[in-house]
Amino acid sequence: MKATAIAPSNIAFTKYWGKKDEVLRLPENGSISMCLSNLLTTTTVEFSPDFKKDEIIINGVDEAGRAIEHLDRVRKLANIDLKAKVVSNNNFPSGTGLSSSASGFAALTLAAAKAAGLNLSEKDLSILARQGAGSACRSIPSGFVEWLDGDTSDTSFAVQIFPPDYWAIADVVAVVSEGKKEVPTSAGHALAQSSPFMPVRLGRMKGKNDLVKRLIKEKNFKEFGELTEAEALELHSIMLTQKPHLIYWTTGTLQIMKLVSHWRAGGLPVYFTVNTGQDIHLICEQENIDKVRAKLKELDFVKDIIVNTPGEGARLVVK
Amino acid sequence: MKATAIAPSNIAFTKYWGKKDEVLRLPENGSISMCLSNLLTTTTVEFSPDFKKDEIIINGVDEAGRAIEHLDRVRKLANIDLKAKVVSNNNFPSGTGLSSSASGFAALTLAAAKAAGLNLSEKDLSILARQGAGSACRSIPSGFVEWLDGDTSDTSFAVQIFPPDYWAIADVVAVVSEGKKEVPTSAGHALAQSSPFMPVRLGRMKGKNDLVKRLIKEKNFKEFGELTEAEALELHSIMLTQKPHLIYWTTGTLQIMKLVSHWRAGGLPVYFTVNTGQDIHLICEQENIDKVRAKLKELDFVKDIIVNTPGEGARLVVK
């Protein structure tokens, strides 16, 4: 009753912000993302009658609460009552906008389900992962992914729209972290509706998602990049106009956002997107990875550069 | 036929962004501001038959275009055909978000009108100043000012709502300039309607202006500060979601925006507002000026601190 899973973080081209059901983590809108090949969480779960209580070791820190709630969901599905030991490691910083909760809860979902003896479909794994952390549902399938806009738990899950090798684009992450973000994502989510602009945003999301899917299908990088960047700024405009306002950018984020426009004006096709944190994702075609990396290397405040291509979803590690 | 005028910049608590008439500079919405006691432009205008062409000397730089167009308006009103010499100096940086066009065109309006022999009312001066630079109309009256939401040139002007000594608040400006802004305000204005959120904003402005006036009247500093800060972020959210997007903040702006929240959490009642530029205005009660200044002095990237109280509007200098 022990299993290890690896799951990727994902980068959303259209964002998840605001929930229509807090408990079930049903988002206000569907979203489109890509699994990231090099932002990974590896998680081992073991259930045993020898354990007296759940033990959760996340990157060496015990962050028990949400993980234990998630184990409870798995135990309920598997109809078992055993305590578990969970050991989880990220190969990247957490709490800085790289969506470690997505990779973390996707890996936990798959490892725990397997260790509990469940044999779940990709759809059921995605539904289960979503209940741990919304965007984790997008880290179950591989490649380019859509989180369907369902109104019930059974219809709110992620599916692959294109496999990883469909389109040779990349996400070059610039780590500019100056410590963890001050406001956890989940606290900000709950106040999305306090922005006067939220109804306008929600009215636009279906059309925006349809357009992103078409642009990926057509491999129209310019329009795809423009839409991705505008969507990130729209998300952050919602957060800036919430009560209280949320500012996730740091000086490094802002500098790179402005530099990207200059680099583009200089002939390098690259666009940014930013999640709820300071680290910034630069989207480019794979042929331009070296150029983007070279630009970032010139910046002394960039602490790390992580190059991602469209990656595999959550998978078991067979030892 | 020579006159000198001094006019203040002003800080808008509710902002002017977007025009319903480009040529007449009629704004999409009314706005509320305060004249600033220590951000001043001094302008001397002389009309003479000896001059062969208009000569415009603005802080030593010849920026002829808009100023000459404005002289033409004055010449038309006065029915004269003389060329002019204009010498204008700001006591503060221009093109960094301190609204030098407001003080500049207010001073030019008053000095040119007087030099041309016109005897205009405050209302007529405000209407004339508006045609040079929209927010200049708010720098004609003294103290707390409302730019009325008129649909015609004759009804779009600024009036005093409270005199300078009505409320002892201050605007402590932090100069964080790293050079002039990349996009002139007027270019950004023209694209306001490209933000999907602009219609929502416009639908809220009348109520917001009524509320600001009431909060000033009641001297309710906390709610006034909250509204001012939220309005600044709403303005910048519009600019972030325009096509192309506009980012006027620099790293210094962003750092102070975040610090203000911390200072407030620490018990200092201070709020920020930002115009179309990087320099940032900290609004506080006058009894807290020294505390705000001390906080800013700790920041090595703050190049200058300019303390303003509610100031006089445009006035002639009699030598």
Q: Are B112 and B242 contained in the same domain?
A: no
Q: Which residues of B touch A (CB under 8 A)?
A: 196-197, 199-201, 204, 229-230, 233-234, 236-238, 240-241, 243-245, 247, 249-251, 254-255, 257-258, 261
Residue at B27 is within a domain: yes
C-alpha R_g of chain B: 19
B242 → chain A, closest CA residue: A230
Please return the burial class of A297, using the count of CB atoms within 10 Å of its CB with bins 0-12, 13-18 and 19+.
exposed
A67/chain B closest Cα distance in angstroms? 31
Joined together, the tokens standing for residue B3 give 């006159």
* Cβ separation B237–A196 shorter than 8 A: no
Q: Looking at beta carbons, which residues of chain A come within 8 Å of B259?
A: none
Question: Could you list the residue range(s) of the whole structural domain that residue A113 is in?
Answer: 2-163
* Cβ separation A230–B243 shorter than 8 A: yes
Q: Looking at beta carbons, which residues of chain A come within 8 Å of B238?
A: 237
Residue at B133 is within a domain: yes
Q: Are A109 and A200 contained in the same domain?
A: no
Identify the domain boundary among A122, A144, A163. Answer: A163
The half-sphere exposure of A300 on its side-chain side, counting CA atoms within 13 A, is: 0
Residue at B283 is within a domain: yes
Residue at A248 is within a domain: yes
Q: Are A155 and A178 contained in the same domain?
A: no
Check: CB of residue A282 under 8 Å from CB of residue A270. Answer: yes
Check: CB of residue A198 under 8 Å from CB of residue A243. Answer: no
B236/chain A closest Cα distance in angstroms? 8
- Supply the angle between the helices A122-132 and A100-115 in degrees, to the nearest 10: 120
Ramachandran bin of B99, using left for φ above 0, alpha for ψ from -120 to 50, beta for the remaining angles: left
Instruction: Name the residue among B305, B34, B267, B268 with its Cα closest to residue B158.
Output: B34
Check: CB of residue B1 under 8 Å from CB of residue B277. Answer: no
Q: Are A147 and A51 contained in the same domain?
A: yes
Nearest-by-Cβ selection for A200 from B196, B247, B258: B196
Q: Are B78 and B210 contained in the same domain?
A: no
Q: Are A172 and A75 contained in the same domain?
A: no
Q: Give pLDDT tens digits along chain B (319 positions).
A: 999 999 999 999 999 999 999 889 999 999 999 999 999 999 999 999 999 999 999 876 656 789 999 999 999 999 999 999 999 999 998 878 888 999 999 999 999 999 999 999 999 999 999 999 999 999 999 999 999 999 999 999 999 999 999 999 999 999 997 677 777 787 888 899 999 999 999 999 999 999 999 999 999 999 999 999 999 999 999 999 999 999 999 999 999 999 999 999 999 999 999 998 899 999 999 999 999 999 999 999 999 999 999 999 999 998 7
Q: Are A177 and A292 contained in the same domain?
A: yes
User: How confident is the model at residue A63, as a pLDDT?
Assistant: 65
β-bridge pairing A31-48 and A169-175:
unpaired
Please return the burial class of B268, using the count of CB atoms within 10 Å of its CB with bins 0-12, 13-18 and 19+.
middle
User: How confident is the model at residue B133, as a pLDDT?
Assistant: 93
The half-sphere exposure of A113 on its side-chain side, counting CA atoms within 13 A, is: 24
Check: CB of residue B37 under 8 Å from CB of residue B313. Answer: no
Residue at B316 is within a domain: no
Identify the domain boundary among B106, B137, B163. Answer: B163
- Give the Cα separation of B224 and B213 in Å (integer): 9
* Cβ separation B230–A251 shorter than 8 A: no
Residue at B313 is within a domain: no
The string of pLDDT tens digits covering residues B2-23 is 999 999 999 999 999 999 998 8
CATH for B130: 3.30.230.10
Identify the domain boundary among A163, A198, A218. Answer: A163
Query: Long-range pairs for A121-128 at CB < 8 Å and ≥24 separation?
Result: A122/A159, A122/A313, A123/A157, A123/A159, A125/A314, A126/A157, A126/A158, A126/A159, A127/A153, A127/A154, A127/A156, A127/A157, A128/A73, A128/A74, A128/A77
CB atoms within 10 A of CB A59: 15
The half-sphere exposure of B23 on its side-chain side, counting CA atoms within 13 A, is: 2
Q: Are B127 and B262 contained in the same domain?
A: no
Residue at A313 is within a domain: no
CATH for A188: 3.30.70.890
Q: Are B263 and B191 contained in the same domain?
A: yes
Distances (CA, A) of A103 to A11, A28, A89, A108, B220: 11, 21, 10, 8, 47
DSSP assigned state of B318: P
User: How confident is the model at residue A183, as a pLDDT?
Assistant: 77
- Supply the angle between the helices A251-265 and B251-265 in degrees, to the nearest 10: 160
Q: Are A289 and A180 contained in the same domain?
A: yes
User: How confident is the model at residue A136, as a pLDDT?
Assistant: 97
* Cβ separation B236–A234 shorter than 8 A: no
User: How confident is the model at residue A61, as a pLDDT?
Assistant: 62
Q: Give pLDDT tens digits along chain A (319 positions).
A: 999 999 999 999 999 999 999 889 999 999 999 999 999 999 999 999 999 999 999 876 656 789 999 999 999 999 999 999 999 999 998 878 788 999 999 999 999 999 999 999 999 999 999 999 999 999 999 999 999 999 999 999 999 999 999 999 999 999 997 677 777 787 888 899 999 999 999 999 999 999 999 999 999 999 999 999 999 999 999 999 999 999 999 999 999 999 999 999 999 999 999 998 899 999 999 999 999 999 999 999 999 999 999 999 999 998 7
Q: Looking at beta carbons, which residues of chain A come within 8 Å of B240?
A: 233-234, 236-237, 240
Joined together, the tokens standing for residue A290 give 């070296």
Instruction: Name the residue among B101, B130, B114, B119 with its Cα closest to residue B39.
Output: B101
Q: Are A207 and A196 contained in the same domain?
A: yes
Instruction: Name the residue among A317, A238, A231, A215 with its Cα closest to residue A272.
Output: A231
User: How confident is the model at residue B106, as a pLDDT?
Assistant: 97
Residue at B319 is within a domain: no
Mean pLDDT in chain B?
A: 95
Q: Which residues of B98-115 are buried (b: 16+ CB within 10 A; e: fewer)?
A: bbbbbbbbbbbbbbbbbb
User: How confident is the model at residue A230, as a pLDDT?
Assistant: 98
Q: Are A108 and A198 contained in the same domain?
A: no
User: How confident is the model at residue B62, as a pLDDT?
Assistant: 57
Check: CB of residue B90 under 8 Å from CB of residue B306. Answer: no
Instruction: Name the residue among B14, B8, B2 with its Cα closest to residue B232.
Output: B14
Number of domains chain A is built from: 2
